[in-house]
A = this chain, B = another copy of it.
Amino acid sequence: MAVRAAVAGASGYAGGEVLRLLLGHPGVEIGALTGHSNAGQALGGLQPHLTPLAGRVLEPTEAEVLAGHDVVFLALPHGQSAAVAEQLGEDVLVIDMGADFRLADAADWERFYGSEHAGTWPYGLPELPGARGALTGARRIAVPGCYPTAVSLALFPAYAADIAEPEAVITAASGTSGAGKTPKAHLLGSEVMGSMSPYGVGGGHRHTPEMIQNLSAVAGERITVSFTPTLAPMARGILATCSAKARPGVTAADVRAAYEKAFADEPFVRLLPEGQWPATASVYGSNAAQIQVAYDESAHRIIAISAIDNLTKGTAGGAVQSMNIALGLDETTGLSTIGVAP
């Protein structure tokens, strides 16, 4: 019998993407869709690509609308999930695609988000060591940030195998959909087409503590992260270029072996054959991550690169994958490793 799912924040990019995936999920029936300023409008005008839901009308984002579903996806602005979640029963699977329940450290939360820490939920990056256990049967899931998904997948094998020094340097390029649908001048097509630009440089990006949290947990020691995000002229995709010095004595073969081991049984992560490099186009619209790793002998560094779709594997696909695990479904149900290319 199909699981009934509601989506709060159905008019935004994360909400639209989770609906796109749920429409193809054989075990889910789509229930209430809610919005804030768009409540009362038909989805057809807001998400014109979701043809089968064109006639659906958004309801207001209120607990009574969301109650009575088996699963509730929250695609709300940061800081709004806790108030909704606490009104939903413990038996409802609540999956937060916002940041509210990702960080374990209250001080980190307060420093980077400027509000009171709401708590920590099981973390929806199944590929991390130990994550699947915490997700199985869970009724609350915090979906990772898009950058932390890309970066953690690229670097955790190096730290799991203890082949990298604890100082990671990361530059990531993201498509503009990661910045959301709220109109802002610097996100206009006129501004972003033909341009690359950085932002949040120098340790200020909110996803930095989440990366540190993930990598430190795998490494068993504090990993410092120097993270520079850049905005790329494309709608979707993250390409994360991650590196760290290799531990003394590490060889190219050690590096390759660590990554082969980490992803040997992963359904959504593909370590590419040597010589082939990831491209965000290859994972467009899919839940796949493509990974490649190199050892730079001259600089004695490990360079690991991942490509994901920020809205799919980086947000809504990761949410559905985690939902599958929580509900005891096959983890890959309704999800694809096939990108839309070219």
Contact = CB atoms under 8 A, between A and B. Distances in A.
Contact of A299 (B47, B167, B303, B342): B167
A163 interface: no
A47 B243 CA distance: 27
Given A49-B339, A230-B239, A340-B285, A189 B193 contact: yes
Contacts of A285: 285, 340
A2 interface: no
Given A241-B230, A243-B226, A301-B226, A342 B235 contact: yes
B190 A175 contact: yes
Contacts of A282: 48-49, 195
Contacts of A24: 336, 338
A280 interface: yes
Nearest to A239: B196
- Count chain B CB atoms within 10 A of each CB in A182, A292, A298 and give the residue with the most: A298
B49 A286 contact: yes
Contact of A277 (B199, B203, B294, B336): B199
Interface residues of A, number: 94
A82 interface: no
Contact of A51 (B20, B245, B288): B288
A198 interface: yes
A251 interface: no
Given A49-B339, A226-B303, A285-B285, A237 B183 contact: no
A16 B279 contact: no
Interface in A169-228: 169, 171, 173, 175-177, 179, 181-185, 187-199, 201-203, 208, 224-226, 228
23 contacts: A44-B276, A47-B341, A48-B339, A49-B282, A49-B284, A49-B286, A51-B270, A169-B243, A173-B173, A176-B193, A183-B183, A189-B233, A191-B235, A192-B193, A194-B234, A196-B237, A201-B303, A202-B294, A202-B303, A226-B303, A228-B243, A228-B303, A228-B305
